Structure 1
Amino acid sequence: MFFGTITMVILYLIFRYILAWITYFNNLDPRLGDSTWRWSYDYHVVGERDISDLDDKDFVRLRRKKNKIITLMYSVVMIMFIASMSLLSKILLFFTS
């Protein structure tokens, strides 16, 4: 139970760090918007580069970085969910036995 709690605290700190990066990327260019939970409008085609990269390289690369960070955020949220279910089951087993 102790290690589960420490794991949840560490994952929460990582989550807050990732949210700070998303906020930083949102503030770099107003075209990205203020959304934290959704990817920007960049529909990737498998095997081909984004054509809009030719128009505005800096913005497209910034948008791709933000999308990678958002994907990392969703991964951490999923891991936190699994870890919280494990911690909750250990707490319930502790109080029922």
Structure 2
Amino acid sequence: MVMEPQNGDIAVSLSASVASAMACLLPLASVSQQPYLSELLSFTLDRLHKEPELLRVDTERIQRQMLEVAVGNYRAFISAADALVAIKEEVSSINKHLESMMCTK
């Protein structure tokens, strides 16, 4: 008994092969974008139409989280910046001292 492929089976197989072929053909900025591209190629047309809005919502959420982290860690950022300035000044002082020692030989 020979089983005929169902329309859904053909569509899934075709969709997978098209996604695979497109992933190889499309030039990307980085390999890290390949999974997202493969995911996009698997979406329905309705889902693709929703993607820009979903990305906008994600962007706004991430920006809010970054702002919360920045505000919550403000003192730590200022302390780190002050420490970096102090370290830079100390290294500069050490370099000057070493140069003066080399010149006096």
TM-score, normalization: structure 1?
Answer: 0.34
TM-score, normalization: structure 2?
Answer: 0.32
RCO comparison, higher one (Cα < 8 Å, 6+):
1
Larger radius of gyration: 2
